[in-house]
Each structure stands twice: as structure tokens, then as C-alpha cells.
Amino acid sequence: MVASEFGVPPNLLDLLKEPVLAVQDFLVLTGRALKNIFLSPHYTDDIFLQMDGIGVGSLQIVALTGTFSGAVMALQMARALASYGQVGKTGTLVSLTLVRELGPVLTALMVAGRNASGIASELGSMKVTEQIDAMRALGTDPVQKLVTPRVIATAVMLPLLVIIADFVGLAGGWLIADFFLSIPSKQYWSSAWRALDWSDVAQGLLKPLVFALVISLIGCYYGLRTTGGTQGVGRSTTQAVVMATVLIFIFDLMITKIWVS
């Protein structure tokens, strides 16, 4: 009825209804999760447990991807710079690309793969086995108990992981520079260091903070809306990873655009 009043075919409105409701639900969850940071009870044990799982658990994979992307960047940049006779500037470019882009994005993608899925499947299993209902029945707010600790833990750990990824990435680039490009170590490190100003560092740390919110909240959102048994858990898990990945790229573009202008 409403649809025809505005001259929009009703089936088009129906098509839009679901995504709009989903975004609304997601924003409500986000609001509640963030508000709970300032409300008691605080489940401190859960925060540390999650920090361990998300941060320490991702350390290896993040270090590995960091090293390799730094090394690859050094090779690629050196080749591009060679045509200008500027191979000595490799450190500069490796450092800029790592700190501004690759460090935050690759780390976030790795953590999204590990933890958006992990969170979605854990909360999803709890949902389909009525553990979420049981929590509410036994006097606990699932957002306070499950979502907020995961948001806090990811927001603390992801920037730290990015710092580590940046450093090991630079070290990976240095290995290449040292062994294959015969750039003196001192020159590599000093050009890498001089390339960065505070704005790069700020951008490099703001991004993981935003990505952390995306990863944890998307994981929790898809987990908590799981229906349809174990099959549904699988579906939620996949959707969470896909959505988190897409959103990471979108937010990366937005933050970069705002930063550049």
C-alpha cells in the first residue's frame, strides 16, 4: 500500500527491506556493544581470553604475511625504481606502502579470516544450541558478555599486530635489499625511517582500529543471527568472512581518501 502511494513497485521495496533491516540491526548491535564498554558488569576475564585468542593466536600468521609482503614489495619497488636509477630509494617505498596500506590491510584480512569466522561460528553454535537464550534466561546480556569483550580485545590487539607486521615487513624488505639489491643496510633503514611522518603513523593505526571494529562486530552480528542448525553456522561463518573482507576494503578506501584530501 505504502509502496504504490510513492509509485515504487512493491517488489522493489520488498527487495530493499531486508538489507535495510539488516543494516539497522547491525547498527543497533554496534551501539549496544560500544555503550556496554562503559557499563557494568565488565567481563574482564573474557576480554583477556579473547585477546589471547585473537592477538597471540594470530601472531605467527601475521608475522609470516608481513615478512613476505615486505620482501615482495622490496623486489617490485626495486625493479620499478631501477628504470629511474633510484634503487637506493627502495626503503622509502617499502616503508610507505607497508605502514599506510599493506600492514593494516593484510593484517586485517588475516585476522578477518581467522577471527571473524571464529567469532561467527562460536556465537552461531551458541545461538543454535540455545546457549544465547540460556544466557539471557540466567541474567546475562549476551552483548555485554560476548560481543563487547570481543570488540575490546580486537580493537586492542589488531593495532599491535599491525605494528608487528610493519616491522617484520620492513625486515623482510631489508633481507631482500641486503642480499639481492646490494643496498647498504644503513641506507635502507634510514630511508625507510625518514619516509614516515606522523600522519602516516596515525593513518597506519587508525585503520586497524576501524578494521578491528568491523571484524569483531561483523563476526558477532552474523553469529548472533544464525538460524538453521549446524548448516546455518557454516553459512554465518562464510558470510561473516566475506562481509568483513569487503568492508575492510571499503573502509580502507574511505579512510585513505579522507586522509589524502
Partner 1 sequence: MADAPPQPILQFDRVTVRFDGADVLTDLSFAAFEGESRVILGASGSGKTVLLKTALGLIRPDSGKVYAFGKDITIMSERELFDIRSRMGMLFQESALFDSLTIEENVAYPLENIKSIQCPKDQVLPRVKEALEFVELGATLEKFPSELSGGMRRRAAIARAVVTGPPLVLYDSPTAGLDPITAHTIITLVIKERDISQTTAMIVTHRYQDGNLVANFRYNSKQGTLEPARNGERQGARTTFMVLKEGRLVFEGDQDRLELSKDAYVRKFVKPRV
Q: Total binding residues for partner 1 by CB under 8 A?
A: 13
Give the residue carrying C-alpha cell 634503487.
Answer: 87
Q: Which is nearer to partner 1, 141 or 200 (CB)?
A: 141
Question: 131 vs 185, which CB is nearer to partner 1?
Answer: 131
CB of 135 or CB of 201, closer to partner 1: 135
Q: For residue 19, say if its preceding peptide bond is cis, omega within 30 degrees of 0.
A: no
Q: Which residues ranging from 223 to 252 are in contact with partner 1 (CB under 8 A)?
A: none
> What is the phi/psi pair of residue 90, to 5°?
-50, -45
Site string for partner 1, 174-213 (x = CB under 8 A): ----------------------------------------
Residue 22 CB, shortest distance to partner 1, in Å, is 14
42: phi then psi, degrees, rounded to nearest 5:
-100, 130
Report the alpha-carbon distance of residue 122 to residue 154 in Å, rounded: 16
CB of 6 to partner 1, least distance (A): 22
> Is the CB of residue 255 less than 8 Å from the CB of residue 249?
no
Segment interacting with partner 1, rule: CB under 8 A, options 76-84, 93-101, 124-132, 151-159? 124-132
Region binding partner 1 by CB under 8 A among candidate stretches 3-11, 122-130, 152-160, 171-179: 122-130
CA 44 to chain centre: 22
Are residues 173 and 71 in contact, defined by beta-carbon separation less than 8 angstroms?
Answer: yes
Note whether 248 and 214 are within 8 A (CB): yes
What's the rounded Cα separation, in Å, for the pair 93 and 253?
A: 19
CB of 144 to partner 1, least distance (A): 10
Q: Scanning residues 126 to 145, which ones bind partner 1 (CB under 8 A)?
A: 126, 129-131, 133-141
Contact residues for partner 1 (CB under 8 A)? 126, 129-131, 133-141
